[in-house]
Structure 1
Amino acid sequence: MLGMTLALRLAQRGRQVTIWEGAAELGGLAAPWSLGEIVWDRHYHVTLASDSSLRGLLRELDLESELVWVTARTGFYAGGRLLSLSSVFDYAAFPLLSPLEKVRLAATIIRASRIGDARPLERVTAVEWLRRYSGRRTVERMWHPLLRAKLGANADRVSAAFIWAIIARMYAARRSGAKRELFGYVRGGYARILERLAAHLEERGVRAIV
């Protein structure tokens, strides 16, 4: 989707643009899965109130007014139970971590949210960085299962910049003024967004080769 947006900006500046897409369809990681008539987002894609660039693109595509906002709830599945983490009270009662470990985990998240330049984090793995600030047991019980679920075999190789990017984005959503965490989506998902973006590209003479 980044490549498509770049192509749109170049075309708007009067350049002749050709997109070479290695996959069977445009969109990259934002491209959807489909099974017959059922279409769903391939990865975890939502819009946050703080996503100004994405919301600007949706506005340009006449889709921002169609964003549906829902209050996000958070849970952690462990030991056959889904443990809620949607409030401060849930966090205080979270049974997998000791009080000290909860303090360290909260401090880790706050620390990450205040990092302005994440380039040094690219030289250290996420697991190593998280162990340093959250502690080994918290990594084993929380961070590592989350990383494995998201990245599979790459969980131990991904840089700490990956964790920083996720935390910074979520914190920015809270700083945007919302008292609660809101996730937005366009009905039809990213398939609809990509379809509208592809139409805009075609109107501006952008050629796409898949």
Structure 2
Amino acid sequence: MANNMNRQTKKSIAILGGGISGLYAAYRLQKLGFTVTIFERADELGGLSGSFKIGQIYLEKFYHHSFTTDKIVQRLIKELDLDDKFYYKRLSTAILHNNQTYPLNGAVDLLKLSPLSFLDRLRTGIVLAFLKKTKKWKQFSKEKANDWLPKWQGRKSYELLWLPLFRSKFGKYWDQMSMAWFWARIYLRSEELGYIEGGFQILFKRLHEEILKNHGGIIFQAPIDSVRPDTGTGRLEVSYNRSKLDFDFVLSTLPESTNKKIFPDLKADFLQKYSDHHHVGAQTLILLLDRRFLDHYWLNVNDQDFPFLVVVDQSYIADVSEYGGLYPVYFGNYLNYDDPRWTMSETELLKKFVPFIKKLRPDFSEKWIKEKHLFRTEAAQFVITTDYEKTLLPNKLPIKNCYAATLSQIFPAERSLNYSMSVVDNAIAQIIEDMN
């Protein structure tokens, strides 16, 4: 394809969004012979996977790791000669139940989970083993997790392990989640988690360098106003910041809610069918402490009175020397947009969290905090309902040469770097098929 395109006229493509999806799309499309231009509304790359600086090093705004099943990530890391910086570690996970912490790293820990009867532990273990082994996710597509799980693993086990997380993560949508989504959470996860020395910003930086090296364009602070066919040239007119540029193709990696606004030629019936998915926002309060906080990398908070859903102690996956000897800890939430916590300031949120942080560490003192940072982003997690695949936005939009690769297309897997790149691969395959 690249050679054929070079012998003719190189096709130009506008890539909307400078997160991992946009960067990966530009990198792949350049290899196929396209001339690429990325439009990013912020003044930096990364999007939902973006980072911020701690001294001379970067830390993700929202906790990130990779699984051993993430083959696209592994392939890209190797292509970019970053395999010497990428590593996997076996890390500890636990749950908080009734102010007690219980390790939950496998069958042995599950069999020791004393709040459940032996029969409930056994049933739960059998169910999780079944979900881990079966590849046939379509059998779960019409089932709600809220119905299937208590039926097979037992109501008490479901209410202890999963119901609190569903309620905290999805709020008013908690009982609508598809069992196919839950299956993917079990099936795709690995005991070892991957990270990259220096943070995932290293990966984005290398992609950025490759794109520029191959004469790609990146326009920052460029929110898209509209994308319309240019009747005069037959190309696509991208409007941004009172400027306009024409392209042969457009690939949007933006949220579906944004696509609704910037593609005015999309018909109402199309939008209603494919772009009406509920979603929740993500929020992290990151505390940089002068000491380690948890005994585990990951703590699911199953006590409903706590104002945060998860605690992630970054010091277990990355060397604290990278952060100047500080210990980054994420206090994470997924929130509906009418939740009061969504609009709280950094100071207000910390004040709300501190009494509960002290339940986890009674000796905790705010003097331990050397820095604090608050981040939030909309459309971080889509509500994956039954038969969700019937409402998936197609890669090919009903406007000539316009395509989409968005987070809402990730199914049944949960959003991740790997599956963000997977939907991009699907969109690129569609572009090439249409060109041929």
Contact 1:11 1:205 in 2 (8 A): no
Which residue of the partner structure matches residue 164 of structure 1? 183
* Aligned equivalents of 2:211, 2:194: Cα separation in 1: 24
More strand by share: 2
Which residue of the partner structure matches residue 201 of structure 2? 191
What is the one-letter code of the residue matched to 1:133? Answer: W
In structure 2, which of residues 113, 122, 137 is the aligned counterpart of residue 103 of structure 1? Answer: 122
Cα displacement (A) at 1:14: 0.3
Cα displacement (A) at 1:119: 4.0
* Aligned equivalents of 2:199, 2:171: Cα separation in 1: 25
Contact 1:46 1:183 in 2 (8 A): yes
Cα displacement (A) at 1:58: 0.9
Contact 1:30 1:41 in 2 (8 A): yes
SS state of the match for residue 70, structure 1? strand
Which residue of the partner structure matches residue 139 of structure 1? 158
1:179-203 C-alpha deviation (Å, 9 max, x unpaired): xx32221122222221222222222
* Aligned equivalents of 1:142, 1:111: Cα separation in 2: 17
Contact 2:107 2:125 in 1 (8 A): no
Contact 1:12 1:204 in 2 (8 A): no
Identity of aligned residues (%): 28
Which residue of the partner structure matches residue 201 of structure 1? 211
- Give the TM-score, by structure 1 length: 0.79
SS state of the match for residue 38, structure 2? strand
* Aligned equivalents of 1:62, 1:5: Cα separation in 2: 15
What is the one-letter code of the residue matched to 1:191? Answer: Q
Which residue of the partner structure matches residue 176 of structure 1? none
Contact 1:123 1:159 in 2 (8 A): yes
SS state of the match for residue 69, structure 1? strand
In structure 1, list runs of 5 or more residues that go unmatched: 174-180
Aligned residues: 200
More helix by share: 1
Which residue of the partner structure matches residue 48 of structure 2? 29
SS state of the match for residue 200, structure 2? helix
Q: 113-122 or 126-135: which moved more?
A: 113-122
SS state of the match for residue 35, structure 2? coil
* Aligned equivalents of 1:142, 1:108: Cα separation in 2: 13
- Pairing of 1:1-210 with structure 2 (within 5 A): 1-21=20-40, 25-32=44-51, 34=52, 37=55, 39-170=58-189, 173=190, 181-210=191-220
What is the one-letter code of the residue matched to 2:208? Answer: A
Q: Which runs of 4+ in 1 moved over 6 A?
A: none
Which residue of the partner structure matches residue 257 of structure 2? none
In structure 2, list runs of 5 or more residues that go unmatched: 1-19, 221-436
SS state of the match for residue 176, structure 2? coil
1:134-192 C-alpha deviation (Å, 9 max, x unpaired): 2322221111223345445543333223222221112xx4xxxxxxx322211222222
